[in-house]
Structure 1
């Protein structure tokens, strides 16, 4: 932690965006950040920050100026050794980023979604029937938002059933580790070796089924599209980034509907058209991935403020997605809004490669719910799960009435 006085004319903030109270409710901090200016210096961590949509979007799409290869967390890989091999998707830039991205884009492309669509719709209906047959009040996080991705996505990747309970704790620590070494990181540290070892073991060719995404990645290595050394790291990217973000996106949309009955009524009237839009609006409104870092590759001038070469820039995706300069009534969840252009999945060449898979999971779950329940409302106050990077829920108690 640094309290150095910057050699910059950027506004200075003494706030700690990773303080537990800010992580619990980041909206006041984000509003102050946006109002302070297009670039703000966070002296606690000696980094620059952006909270407005225009600058965040521009930085995300400028990989030449705002580097990912130095790490998308607070640690600067130019000077620090990462605790795990860097992600070939998130933490590389062209040309090293190109082949892994191309392979994964094909593996998760339209053909894969067409193949999965019918079975995932059925899986969602089975899960929802099981939940609703047993309860009219339940925790929407554990019963639906976590249960459905953990039911279908590991199957699609091709990992065995045993040990899947490790996926969420591993992802929780991974996303915590993008921030500073605070109590959240320290809490997960004792299990890092165990969880990392389990995840790495699932990425080997022998551990994977013959008909999943993982097998297709290894087949791409056999063709020479990627190296055999890269294959397990790409499978790992699916397991580390493909579960937690979707779980929190689904939790966000369920929380949003439980607290906005008019929006739920609108969805029920036209679920086939509005389900995908509703999920994207929830991702904009709640922003499951709140922050990512970049590193300046040269001295960069932004609105008259110079960010020196090699310095870290913290981009607040959640703040950009609620910037009133870009969005009308940004704090409202409105499924009639066009949320396209939100940065909840990132933007540019590092935009989430699995976003269409997440949308399909959401479409399947929301369609099953819309066909079966009349109303959904809070049954008790919801509670947050704090994470340095993710906007997460611990519990969302809901009460439903069936159709």
Structure 2
């Protein structure tokens, strides 16, 4: 990421965390990409990047751009985090290595495949309930929120009590990566109670004897991780494994309902469901941004970023960069979207993506079997979050096969 000359860094006075920008971030992201490969966001004194090549390279360079100072605007070098830092997202090697290796084994594709029959049946059971009612319904509360909360907590080994804290806790955790704006202020009164509820779920005695949670605690028994690390790794699963999958499924449903030709293509070839998932992640980028911190003075594409400064990577902007993608604003199942950065890249790439893929494939696959047409049935409404792009309401109309 180093070059031999240093160039002036363009300056933008935009605030990407206003209500207007969070509701429709695409105009700002276009300005960001066209302003330069590295841009100073004057309001927050952070360096931002929105072009694919720069974001992709920065994600891989954990040596120069550290995560352990926080993946949000808050700089852990100078500020105390509101909760113990994540051992996955907010740690660098060597501290990152053992927790990552433990989860990679527990959440491996082979391990996740064993859940396929049960999760596919759960998807059909949910559709039995939803499709027995009116053919117009809100796909967010009826499908996108319900299905992950049906299968994922069971897979972790959570008890029924307290599960209603998972979505609001994850929502606040991702809001907290941004500035202390209106969204953080709204969530602040509930922070302590939600944190306490989720922390309690992660304790060994609160988990079932089988499941991802039990597997993590078993890893501590073997000495793969420490006893102190185990509950924090369980917490990482609960923080990153619910809201993000809810919003990914919502993105898929919206993309398919908005593009009838692509829905027909998926019906004709259901094996495209995994392509549809990645293309929806590329297009909508449920996780929009992550911060890193310059470990020392670092040059990125000829621009000098001083030591200790925050770097804001717009994953969503990179995923719509015309320099990388043809017709980047189109949802296209003939595209190979596999290079997208919606799950990050490198050593911090989402370790639970195989879980999300199976959840989405199970639900959308069941819909393909049973739904003939799907279309948007009314005004949609965004759910605003400082880090996530999501739907609050997504009315759809379906006909059955």
TM-score when normalising by structure 1: 0.97
> Quick one: which of 287, 298, 301 aligns to 1:289?
287
Question: Secondary structure, in 3 states, of the residue corresponding to 1:371?
Answer: helix
In the aligned structure 2, how far is the partner of 1:67 from the partner of 1:110?
A: 28
**In terms of mean alpha carbon deviation, does 114-123 or 246-255 score higher?**
114-123
Where does 1:293-312 land on structure 2 (aligned, <5 Å)? Answer: 293-312=291-310
The answer for the alignment partner of 1:21 in structure 2 is 20
Q: Which residue of 2 aligns with 1:3?
A: none
Q: Give the secondary-structure state (helix, strand or coil) at the position aligned to 1:365.
A: helix
How much has 1:112 moved relative to structure 2? Answer: 2.1
Match status 1:397 vs 2:390:
no
Unaligned runs of 5+ in 2: 1-5
2:231 alignment partner, SS class: helix
C-alpha distance after superposition, 1:79-127 (max 9, x if no partner): 1100000000000000000000000011111332122111001100110
What is the CA distance between 1:135 and its match in structure 2? 2.2
Is the counterpart of residue 324 in structure 1 residue 322 in structure 2?
A: yes
Secondary structure of the 2:304 match is: strand
Q: Name 1:351's counterpart in structure 2.
A: 349
110-119 or 345-354, which deviates more: 110-119
Aligned mates of 2:239, 2:338 — CA distance in 1:
25
CA shift for structure 1 position 56:
0.3
- 1:80 aligns with 79
Quote the residue 2:333 is aligned against. 335
**Is the aligned partner of 1:36 residue 2:38?**
no
Residue equivalent to 1:201? 200
Q: Runs of 4 or more off by more than 2 Å in structure 1?
A: none
Q: Distance in 2 between matches of 1:280 and 1:110?
A: 16
Cα distance between partner residues in 2 of 1:297 and 1:41: 18
Equivalent-residue separation in structure 2 for 1:112 and 1:153 (angstroms): 14
Are 1:66 and 2:65 counterparts?
Answer: yes
Equivalences for 1:25-174 in 2 at 5 Å?
25-174=24-173
SS at match of 1:337: coil
Partners of 1:336 and 1:358 lie apart in 2 by: 22
Query: For structure 1, which segment, 178-187 or 159-168, has the greater mean C-alpha deviation from structure 2 after superposition?
Result: 159-168
1:52 & 1:157 partners in 2: Cα distance? 36
- What per-residue deviation string (whole Å, max 9, x for no partner) do you get for residues 136-174 of structure 1? 011111111110000000000000112211111001100
Residue 381 of structure 2, aligned match among 377, 380, 383: 383
- 1:276 and 2:247 aligned: no
Count of residues in Structure 1 that have an aligned counterpart in Structure 2: 396
> What secondary structure sits across from 2:373 in the alignment?
strand
The alignment partner of 2:115 has SS state of: helix
Residue 264 of structure 2 corresponds to which residue in structure 1? 265
C-alpha contact (below 8 Å) 2:54/2:301 kept by paired residues:
no
Report the equivalent of 1:4: none
TM-score, structure 2 length as denominator? 0.98
Root-mean-square deviation over aligned CA pairs: 1.0
Alignment correspondent of 2:3: none
> How far apart in 1 are the matches of 2:168 and 2:104?
26
Structure 2: distance between partners of 1:367 and 1:16: 39
| CA deviation vs aligned residue, 1:341-371 (integer Å, no higher than 9, x gap) | 1000000000000001100001100110000
Q: Is the 8 A contact 2:376 2:394 kept in 1?
A: yes
SS in 1 for 2:114: helix
Q: Is the 8 A contact 2:177 2:386 kept in 1?
A: yes
* Structure-2 separation of matches of 1:187 and 1:392: 18
Q: Aligned partners of 2:238, 2:268: CA distance in 1, in Å?
A: 35
Residues 158-167 or 92-101, more deviating: 158-167
In 2, Cα distance between the equivalents of 1:335 and 1:162? 40
**Which piece of structure 1 moves more, 84-93 or 134-143?**
134-143
| Deviations 1:208-239 (CA, angstroms, capped at 9, x unpaired) | 00111000000000000000000000000000
Task: Determine the C-alpha separation between the residues in 2 that align with 1:114 and 1:250.
Answer: 19
Conserved? CA contact 2:287–2:389, under 8 Å: yes
- The structural deviation recorded for 1:8 is 7.9
Give the Cα–Cα distance (whole angstroms) in 2 for the partners of residues 201 and 335 of structure 1: 42
- CA distance in 2 between counterparts of 1:110 and 1:344 reads 19
- Given that residues 7 and 302 in structure 2 are in contact (C-alpha distance below 8 angstroms), is that contact kept between their aligned partners in structure 1? no
Task: Note the residue ranges of structure 1 that are not aligned, 5 or more in a row.
Answer: 1-6
CA distance in 2, matches of 1:262, 1:196: 44
